[in-house]
Structure 1
Amino acid sequence: MKLGVIIPLCALFTLTQQVPSHDRCMCELTNSEKVFPHDKLSKVGDSALKCNGNITPQKTLELESLLLGLKWRLPQLQEDVSILEREDDGELYGVVSLQVIENELTEIKKLIDKLNITTWEYKHLATDTTKQLEDLRAEMTELEKYDTLQVVKRQQANQRLRRDLDQCKNEHHFTAQPTQPPHGICPHGEFLNITGPRVYTAGEYPGSYMYGAWGRDPKPDAGKENWYWLVMMTSSNRYSNYVRRYSTLSSLIVGVSVPGNVQIHSSNPTTNTIQGPNVVMYGEALYYNCYNKDAVCRFNLTTKTVTTLQLPKGTRFNSKGNFCHLDECYPFTDLDLATDESGVWVIYTTTQDFGNLVLSKVEEGEPPMLKQTWHTSVYKQGVTNTFMACGVLYATRYVNKAVEEIFYSFDTSTGVEKFNIGIFINKMSPNIYALNYSPMDQMLHAYCNSHMVSYKILFG
């Protein structure tokens, strides 16, 4: 081998010794480049991950939720004071009204205190994060000096070209709209899309109960139009024996429950207590999967009595017909209760339907009864959640940790199914364990890994 062949191959090295031999050439090479600081690169990566963990959409939504609660609470206080001024009799009525206003002021003070603490924390977080970003930028600039072949610069140039090309395409093409789902007679019009989240809160038990449900009663008693309810699986992520009430959304956000818990039974679990997170409230009654039964329980919050609705023979229960995605199934989600403008619905599956979704209308009463039933062609274990809106059943599926898709609909007024809805939900946690539609305000209430999240449904 000739020396003239070896030297170009060792351009980055210094030739220090050459020992010829008959047909072989040996040389000792010394690297003239600086040793790449892998430890420093690893440190930069760790700092970037920490920075990403500190700044999340959840933190911004927490602040927005507190502001929203304060925005709704102050007009209510003003209205209560106005009523007291108009109707004060100077005796019992005035005392009671003053007590109500005092409670309102206490809750507002707690909300403001929590808002002040959160704002102070975020201010320091922003300062610390700005300093971290400046340090990261300086360290990355230093590391780029080792890029002798300018690979990083070429990658950055390619990214800029790709971004400019995408922008050019977007300027000449309209954004494709999602396929419109079918609709029956709906006072709001067609279901167009979902915006939000509007509310994101851990409530008064942050991180304590992974499974649960929350929402509003579409048919509340007088004076309870603004109330919210919350059911958490307090035993084995599977059972619960009470429903918790909140007088306003801001009360739920700051974790002040009035009147508190309404208990179904002192034991948990036991006959007719709650099994699974898919729960709804309608007409001052809680509807849920009865403990260890293929039946719907109706708990009357006024009389504290429970009546049951037996589902058809072959209904799957006790975690044999759950909602699922590829990575996991949600335990004890065999029965899903839903509310819309017309009342209560139950979604389930049977052995006769080979695991496909079955939808039945629940007729109010003590005991409740099944009215009409519809059979679909969508497999329940390929679905992560369902909800009803204007007599239309919607089903979701897991896309990834950040996105859920409303992909399917079944219109009970026409019997038409569609599998190409294409409306996406931006999630705040990987899994949505319960999804309830509120016809009171066209909000979709999700319970996600112990957090309560709400989205606004856009009709048109």
Structure 2
Amino acid sequence: MCSRVLMHSSFIHIQAIIMKFHAVILLCSLFGFTQQQSSQEACACTLTSKEKAFPLESLNLVNDKATKCTSTVTQLKASELESMMLGLEHRLPQLLEDMSILEKEDDGGLYGVVSLQLIENELKEIKELVDKLSTTTQGHKHLYTDSAKQAANLKEDLQELELYDTFQVEKKRQDNQRLKRALHECEAKHDVNTPPTQPPHDMCPHGKFVNITGPEVFSQGEYAGSYKYGGWGRDPKPEAGEERWYWRVMMTSNNRYANYVRYYSSLSTLVVGVGLPVNFHIHASNPTTNTVQGPNVVLYGKALYYNCYNKGDVCRFNLTSKTVSTLELPKGTRFNSRANYCHLEECYPYTDMDLATDESGVWVVYSTVHSFGNLVLSKLEEGDPPTLGRTWHTSLFKQAVTNTFMACGTLYATRYVDKSIEEIFYSLDTVTGVEKFNLGIFINKMSPNINFLNYSPIDQMLYLYSDANMVSYKVLFE
């Protein structure tokens, strides 16, 4: 019995030796060995693979080409072309409308000459836009051709490199990608009757704010160089017959105060100061209680909203009844030039409080001692007096920006880049509460400083008051 057990154990041991021997023979079939024996009878083996060496240099070259192609074909180039197309789409109907007005109102005198000059400027700008669009289109065509050729070459290089994928790792990965796509398509077909998510009720009817073009208007008006600070624009909620009227407020005392708003029946009368402009006086003297302090004023529903003189309050001057009502802002609101808009070289005096308009009405931008100087935004509810609606506290330091404006329920802030460029860099979506600090939308300035900035929802224009100049830009939405 014991002998049988020993024989069986020996048999298993022999089988194990035979298996190891077969494994050695299998390895020898894959690799060749070169045996070298030294004087000390030490043995060293050189392992030589029969597989081809992987071409790492070729892979690096393909990667460099792909990176170069990605940096050449960018989203910025596509959005640039889209912005120009949007600009042309908006400018042509506006030109036709202005031509129609000129035909109706031309008196053959100074009024008609000024209007014609404005239209000539529009035509010049449209021609420049078309020329730039043509040049950009040709450049994009060459870029498309070159990129398509490079993509085809890269595809061939990758197919050659896949030959080295002997374990078919890349092939399995591609199979998995195809299966994922098929799964997503199947799920989409299954959920075809699912109702779409409803957009937020305050979503902008124009689409996303993507760029601005212009300037479209550049003028000092009837008082050339006389008033550095002020504001101007159009009433987003005009009375019947005043849809094309413009308003202007000029800081008349040390660039700090104003006691009246000036009305113009058209853009041409604003530019040259003819056609019987109308003054609406808040008070006979200036400054006094309830007169305007600071340039950041707006007109809405034939009422002027502004920072009350020597107070942390909002004043509302009704142009029809000639009455003033006030709204007290939260305790600790800064005023009297303690929280101005600034850049590194200069602060703009008495810009503590900034009124703004958009599609939903009037807003006020300010800061308080409790917000540690950060910008605060509040909605003003219409009424006489107005009331304070919902408030948003931002993480943006007010004195780090040069101006703000509202458009479609979103707050935008600008900062000084240099004497010719201003950047719209920040936004706060009041629906989602999301803040962004990297918008990168640039304004080509006609003068170094922007003392007043406001958006008009009636024509989707930005109105600027810049070193005594009245300037306007067209806002482009998707």
TM-score, scaled to structure 2: 0.62
Aligned partner letter, 1:75: S
Corresponding residue of 1:75: 100
Aligned partner letter, 2:315: C
Q: Secondary structure at the match of 1:111?
A: helix
Corresponding residue of 1:237: 255
Q: Output one character per residue of 1:149-172: Cα deviation in whole Å (capped at 9) or x when no partner.
A: xxxxxxxxxxxxxxxxxxx99997
Corresponding residue of 1:260: 278
Corresponding residue of 1:204: 222
Corresponding residue of 2:462: 444
CA RMSD of aligned residues (A): 3.0
Corresponding residue of 2:371: 353
Corresponding residue of 1:376: 394
Where in structure 2 are the equivalents of 1:43-54 lying within 5 Å?
none
Higher relative contact order (CA 8 A, sep 6+): 1
Q: Secondary structure at the match of 2:417?
A: strand
Decide whether aligned partners of structure 1 residues 418 and 226 sit closer, same or farther in structure 2, where only a CA change above 3 A counts: same
Aligned partner letter, 1:349: S
Paired residues of 2:421 and 2:443 also in contact (CA < 8 A): yes
Where in structure 2 are the equivalents of 1:167-246 lying within 5 Å?
185-246=203-264
Question: What CA distance in whole angstroms lies between the structure 1 residues aligned with 2:201 and 2:246?
Answer: 28
Where in structure 2 are the equivalents of 1:38-437 lying within 5 Å?
75-76=100-101, 78-79=103-104, 108-109=111-112, 111=114, 185-256=203-274, 258-437=276-455
1:249 shift after superposition: 1.0
1:379 shift after superposition: 0.2
1:261 shift after superposition: 1.1
Displaced runs of 4+ in structure 1, greater than 3 A?
68-74, 77-80, 104-107, 112-115, 168-173
Aligned partner letter, 1:190: K
Question: What CA distance in whole angstroms lies between the structure 1 residues aligned with 2:293 and 2:462?
Answer: 22
Question: What CA distance in whole angstroms lies between the structure 1 residues aligned with 2:274 and 2:363?
Answer: 30
Decide whether aligned partners of structure 1 residues 184 and 70 sit closer, same or farther in structure 2, where only a CA change above 3 A counts: closer
Decide whether aligned partners of structure 1 residues 105 and 281 sit closer, same or farther in structure 2, where only a CA change above 3 A counts: farther
Please, which moves more after superposition, 70-79 or 384-393?
70-79
Corresponding residue of 1:42: none
Q: Secondary structure at the match of 1:293?
A: coil
1:404 shift after superposition: 0.3
Question: What CA distance in whole angstroms lies between the structure 2 residues aligned with 1:183 and 1:338?
Answer: 21
How many equivalent pairs are there? 316
Question: What CA distance in whole angstroms lies between the structure 2 residues aligned with 1:324 and 1:362?
Answer: 25
Unmatched 5+ residue regions in structure 1?
1-67, 81-100, 120-167, 174-181
Decide whether aligned partners of structure 1 residues 75 and 376 sit closer, same or farther in structure 2, where only a CA change above 3 A counts: same
Paired residues of 1:323 and 1:329 also in contact (CA < 8 A): yes
1:106 shift after superposition: 5.1
Question: What CA distance in whole angstroms lies between the structure 2 residues aligned with 1:199 and 1:78?
Answer: 20
Question: What CA distance in whole angstroms lies between the structure 1 residues aligned with 2:201 and 2:446?
Answer: 28
Decide whether aligned partners of structure 1 residues 171 and 202 sit closer, same or farther in structure 2, where only a CA change above 3 A counts: farther
Aligned partner letter, 1:111: V
1:259 shift after superposition: 3.6
Q: Output one character per residue of 1:21-70: Cα deviation in whole Å (capped at 9) or x when no partner.
A: xxxxxxxxxxxxxxxxxxxxxxxxxxxxxxxxxxxxxxxxxxxxxxx999
Question: What CA distance in whole angstroms lies between the structure 2 residues aligned with 1:70 and 1:187?
Answer: 23
1:316 shift after superposition: 0.3
Question: What CA distance in whole angstroms lies between the structure 2 residues aligned with 1:78 and 1:114?
Answer: 14
Question: What CA distance in whole angstroms lies between the structure 2 residues aligned with 1:267 and 1:245?
Answer: 19
Question: What CA distance in whole angstroms lies between the structure 1 residues aligned with 2:117 and 2:477?
Answer: 34
1:111 shift after superposition: 2.5
Paired residues of 1:184 and 1:392 also in contact (CA < 8 A): no
Paired residues of 2:341 and 2:352 also in contact (CA < 8 A): yes
Aligned partner letter, 1:219: K
Paired residues of 2:102 and 2:112 also in contact (CA < 8 A): no
Paired residues of 1:243 and 1:261 also in contact (CA < 8 A): yes
Question: What CA distance in whole angstroms lies between the structure 2 residues aligned with 1:279 and 1:387?
Answer: 12
